[in-house]
Structure 1
Amino acid sequence: DGIVKNRYVGRTFIQPTQAMRQLGIRLKLNPLPSVIRGKRLVVIDDSIVRGNTSKKLIEMLRAAGATEVHLRIVSPEVLWPCFYGIDTDTRDQLIAANMTNAEMCEWMGADSLAFISLQGLRDSLPDVRTPGYCEACFSGDYPVEIPSYTARNSFMTKADFAEQYAREAAEVEKTQISV
């Protein structure tokens, strides 16, 4: 093993502030330079939500002497907020909703990044259409209707807001010109 994981630190992405998430990451993962130095690594993780843990882990692995770090994620990209138990209340917080795979890879400092596809995830499960199965954070297909206020405030990224603002401004300008 090249990383010692502190089992007493929980999921860092659910911490309420960025500072608390960063501290939690530092306390949770401890790379072993004697094992890592000079190695090309493939790191397998369950998901990337905000990207903070992956970015910090890659930095720590490189500081411990890794020559390459390739990241493989065993879930599809988390693109949509979860209202069913995971604390991601807006798309703006989700790295995959705001960056391409290449942009995420570069931002985190990895040599490569790959996710399992949504179909690959479905194919790996015995029966994904059983009651209680939800893939909304990957597909945006929620099992219940999302209220419009929640949708407007949670499902739009900064780019979506900018695009909507530009459309609304153009409409106002068009209305003013024709009046």
Structure 2
Amino acid sequence: MSTQVRPATPEDAAELVRLRGLMFEAMSGRADPGPWRRTAELELRERLAVPADRRTMAAFVLDDPAEPGRLAACAVGTLERRLPAPGHPDGLFGFVFNICTDPAHRRRGHARACTEALLAWFDARRVTRVDLHATEGGEALYRSLGFHEHSVPLSRQRLLPGG
């Protein structure tokens, strides 16, 4: 199978959410069919429908050749505009928040191909830093693509009622 990566469309939203669920399941050891899935699908549909030149989210996917409409892999990220700073003259930063390959298609370079397409999208927009949170299983891939440790930021998390 070739690795023909393409930009995701709004029609890929449900499959992107399915893969996102697989990523979370791999991280925690349990599936979470909660209401986040519907919200994520709506968000993806909306953001992937924005004209390409105004889009602040990008997703690159690889189709499953055996099952039309099903995705084998994806990489999803967002573009964020912050105040310019030394080393970041345009103030553009990227965040990768979803890289996943369906278990039936792993170890074939699909995650790498999708991630390289996403990084090229960031590069074309003059993004000077791209961040991600790596799982142990993905760390070698990310390091091979030039990712390394950066300062550890403090973060604050607030649990919502019912969440």
- Per the TM superposition, whether the score is higher than 0.5 is no
Higher strand residue share: 2
Q: What TM-score do the two structures reach when normalised by structure 1?
A: 0.25
Q: What TM-score do the two structures reach when normalised by structure 2?
A: 0.26
* Higher CA-based Rg: 1
